[in-house]
């Protein structure tokens, strides 16, 4: 019998109670991984997903908009699985930062940077410390290795709209962070990849996809979250180690570099 490609791996997926994150959790679990399903506020959805997946799935709550949230999440995830060898930074929100409202401008920048960048950076730091020490207890190609996959955005390349400048900047920071991890820690067995989706059929995009937007998409449809999830499952398998440092666009040719 063929061994599942992620058998023995221990995966933390942030923002996994719904949307892209939920599909990622389903995909990696299907391929044999144990998975921590992180949620921020929707405990019911995360618990339902954990029950759906059954064995090897655990729901863990933490507020990543709080500067202490990442450390709390990491410690709970490690305790739940006995170690983490694969981190998927998916949690995020499309928070506006309007130019003409100074208070909302400042709060928008603070919220975007914390949730879309700093919390992920904090989790990456904790993961790297464990990976380098060799305490990420899943299989790896060399002692102390691990995998980090970040979900950025096409906004990281092209910027976002006038109301969401902070979001685009935060996602660009996340993209640069991922590249730096790949370059700086590859010799220690750490692989890092970024995925940059365009429009995805999730709650984040609900209400923003008008008929005009849809008509302008080359495939005439938004990307299903499963397309992103399948790519994460492949990258988590470490079957293409020399792809580390790459950014993989999932936009249905809506944005082509």
Q: Residue 51: which of 37, 39, 65 has the closest Cα?
A: 37
Domain boundaries, the chain: 10-250
Q: How far apart are CA 11 and CA 56, in angstroms?
A: 10
Q: Residue 27: which of 48, 9, 47 has the closest Cα?
A: 9
Query: What tens digit of pLDDT does each residue of 156-193 get?
Result: 999 999 999 999 999 999 999 999 999 999 999 999 99
How buried is residue 47: exposed, middle or buried, by Cβ count under 10 Å (0-12/13-18/19+)? Answer: middle
pLDDT at res. 135: 46
Q: Is 167 a catalytic residue?
A: yes
pTM to 2 decimal places: 0.94
Q: Residue 65: which of 13, 25, 126, 117 has the closest Cα?
A: 117
Query: What tens digit of pLDDT does each residue of 204-218 get?
Result: 566 667 788 888 899
pLDDT at res. 202: 84
pLDDT band at 82 (very low <50, low <70, confident <90, very high): very high
Which is the CATH superfamily of the domain at 10-250? Answer: NAD(P)-binding Rossmann-like Domain (3.40.50.720)
pLDDT at res. 99: 97
pLDDT at res. 142: 46
Q: How far apart are CA 209 and CA 213, in angstroms?
A: 6
Tokens of 253: 């040719």
Cβ neighbours of 139 (radius 10 Å): 13
State the residue for tokens 């950014």.
Answer: 247
Beta bridge partners of 58: 36
Mean pLDDT of 236-246: 97
pLDDT band at 137 (very low <50, low <70, confident <90, very high): very low
Mean pLDDT of 12-20: 97
pLDDT at res. 204: 58
Query: What tens digit of pLDDT does each residue of 21-44 get?
Result: 999 999 999 999 999 999 999 999
Angle between helices 69-81 and 119-133 (to 10 degrees): 40
Catalytic entry in 39, 167, 185, 193:
167
Cβ neighbours of 35 (radius 10 Å): 31
């Amino acid at each position: 019998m063929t061994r599942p490609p992620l058998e023995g791996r221990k995966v933390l997926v942030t923002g996994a109670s719904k949307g892209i994150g939920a599909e990622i959790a389903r995909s990696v679990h299907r391929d044999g991984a144990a998975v921590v399903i992180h949620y921020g506020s929707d405990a019911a959805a995360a618990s339902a997903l954990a029950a759906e997946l059954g064995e090897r799935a655990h729901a863990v709550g933490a507020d990543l908009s709080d500067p202490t949230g990442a450390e709390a999440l990491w410690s709970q995830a490690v305790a739940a699985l006995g170690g983490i060898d694969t981190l998927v930074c998916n949690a995020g929100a499309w928070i506006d930062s309007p130019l003409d409202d100074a208070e909302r401008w400042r709060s928008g920048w603070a919220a975007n940077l914390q949730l879309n960048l700093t919390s992920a950076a904090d989790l990456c730091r904790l993961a790297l410390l464990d990976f380098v020490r060799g305490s990420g207890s899943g299989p790896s190609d060399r002692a102390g290795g691990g995998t980090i996959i970040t979900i950025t955005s096409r906004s990281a390349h092209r910027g976002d709209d006038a109301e969401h400048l902070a979001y685009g900047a935060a996602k660009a920071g996340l993209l640069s962070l991922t590249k730096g991890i790949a370059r700086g820690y590859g010799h220690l067995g750490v692989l890092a990849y970024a995925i940059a989706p365009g429009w995805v059929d999730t709650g984040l995009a609900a209400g923003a996809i008008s008929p005009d937007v849809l008509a302008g998409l080359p495939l005439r449809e938004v990307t299903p979250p499963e397309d992103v999830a399948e790519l994460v499952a492949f990258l988590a398998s470490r079957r293409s180690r020399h792809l580390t440092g790459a950014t993989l666009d999932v936009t249905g040719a809506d944005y082509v570099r």
